[in-house]
């Protein structure tokens, strides 16, 4: 398993046992695979060519790690990469070997500009055996652009840790109704601010980024008096969800799954959710009564949805319960990890798309 970020999954697992943070699903997957070897970027020396390649896709440390792995892995190995940022470098450099490993890569947003460029420069359609993604927009893109058969694409919808994000009592001293919102990717907090600034509510946003350009696009120049934004530690974030009368995910339209994590966490805490119905979230909004969806960037529709749920607590509670049951039954991390591990095991038994070799791939041979 090759991570796109330098995460210590063992430490995260220990913190999760102490209820300090949610469990990381990739750790759960590795355990289903019998303790698959885990590789992280950041330790390998970076060469000038790595910086050049990173102008196309990934970061220099991704290419440095991919180069190191290309000398370790062979046709007896199967490699799962957690994103195209690390997956394309690994597939490109390992694919140059005659006895290349079996490659499975999770695709998040390959239809962006850097993704398009990488597809034009690197022959990944012959070097990646299985493309896994969490949204139908990416499935459609992969089939259309790379002309991949359905057998080489796996749609795996997102998950959350339902043992960490749980319903619970509100904070003592809560004096006013709260609208909570979490995240920054493709967030439209300008519209949310405009439709709530005169309501008798506190709007609390959990978001942090060093990208000033992103913040300028997402937020109004001056936050309304009833809106605050800060970073919340994991236990604080759970309590924010529990305190929320509504969770609102206001988004610019996009093809990615922006907002899916917040959606899952909020429903796992049994809170009613209003979310922008973007192209990337279509697969997550199909269950009737689980969420209230609105058009992206439509202030009138968003305000009406907020007022409707605030004024009808029984309706809001019924929606929250429907969403809660959906998450428990279909989007918990245990099911996700089991599904992904099972698919990887099945893939290990198939022949490579390039070399046509048979079974015999492993998740640990040659990896340290």
pLDDT at residue 358, rounded to an integer: 46
Report the distance separating Cα 36 and Cα 26, nearest Å: 10
* Residue-by-residue DSSP string for 89-158: HHHHHHHTSTTPPEEEEEES-TTSHHHHHHHHHS-GGGT-SEEEESSHHHHHHHHHHS---GGGEEE---
Place of tokens 């709007």: 203
Tell me which residues of the chain have a pLDDT lower than 50: 354-359, 363-368
User: Percent of the chain having pLDDT more than 90?
Assistant: 83
Question: End-to-end alpha-carbon separation of the chain, Å?
Answer: 11
pTM, entire model? 0.91
Residues spanned by the domain of 96:
9-159+332-348
Shared domain check, 315 and 249: yes
Shared domain check, 67 and 94: yes
pLDDT at residue 299, rounded to an integer: 97
Query: In a 3-state reduction of DSSP, which class is residue 246?
Result: strand
Report the distance separating Cα 139 and Cα 226, nearest Å: 41
Shared domain check, 292 and 189: yes
C-alpha distances out from residue 64 to 49, 78, 125, Å: 9, 19, 22
Q: Is residue 4, in this structure, part of any structural domain at all?
A: no
pLDDT at residue 348, rounded to an integer: 87
Report the distance separating Cα 184 and Cα 186, nearest Å: 6
Q: φ and ψ at 202, to 5 degrees?
A: -100, 130
Shared domain check, 308 and 185: yes
Task: Give tens-digit pLDDT for 277-318.
Answer: 999 999 999 999 999 999 999 999 999 999 999 999 999 999
Q: Is residue 153, in this structure, part of any structural domain at all?
A: yes
List the one residue out of 224, 230, 249, 237 whose CA is nearest residue 323: 249
CATH assignment of the domain containing 29:
3.40.50
Report the distance separating Cα 21 and Cα 130, nearest Å: 31
């Amino acid at each position: 398993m090759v991570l796109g970020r330098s995460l210590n999954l063992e430490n995260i697992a220990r913190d999760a046992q102490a209820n300090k943070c949610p469990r990381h699903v990739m750790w759960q997957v590795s355990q289903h695979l019998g303790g698959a070897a885990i590789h992280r970027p950041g330790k390998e020396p970076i060469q000038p060519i790595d910086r050049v390649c990173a102008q196309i896709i990934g970061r220099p440390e991704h290419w440095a790690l991919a180069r190191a792995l290309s000398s370790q892995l062979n046709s007896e190995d199967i490699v799962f990469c957690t994103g195209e940022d690390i997956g394309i470098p690994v597939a490109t450099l390992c694919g140059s070997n005659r006895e290349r490993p079996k490659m499975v890569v999770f695709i998040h947003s390959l239809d962006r500009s850097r993704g398009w460029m990488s597809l034009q420069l690197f022959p990944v359609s012959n070097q990646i055996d299985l493309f896994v993604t969490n949204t139908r927009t990416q499935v459609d893109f992969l089939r259309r652009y790379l002309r991949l058969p359905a057998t080489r694409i796996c749609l795996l919808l997102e998950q959350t840790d339902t043992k960490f994000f749980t319903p619970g009592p509100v904070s003592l001293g809560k004096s006013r109704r709260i609208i909570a919102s979490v995240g920054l990717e493709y967030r439209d907090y300008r519209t949310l601010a405009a439709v709530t600034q005169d309501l008798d509510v506190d709007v609390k946003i959990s978001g942090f980024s060093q990208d000033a350009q992103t913040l300028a696009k997402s937020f109004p120049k001056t936050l309304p008096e009833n809106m605050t934004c800060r970073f919340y530690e994991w236990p604080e974030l759970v309590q924010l969800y529990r305190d929320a009368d509504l969770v609102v995910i206001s988004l610019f339209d996009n093809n990615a799954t922006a907002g899916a994590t917040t959606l899952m966490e909020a429903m796992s805490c049994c809170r009613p959710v209003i979310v922008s119905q973007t192209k990337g979230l279509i697969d997550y909004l199909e269950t009737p009564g689980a969420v209230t969806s609105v058009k992206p960037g439509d202030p009138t529709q968003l305000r009406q949805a907020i007022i409707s749920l605030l004024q009808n607590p029984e309706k809001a509670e019924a929606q929250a319960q429907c969403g809660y049951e959906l998450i428990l039954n279909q989007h918990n991390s245990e099911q996700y990890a089991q599904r992904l591990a099972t698919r990887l095991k099945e893939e290990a038994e198939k022949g490579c798309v390039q070399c046509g070799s048979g079974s015999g791939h492993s998740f640990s041979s040659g990896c340290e």
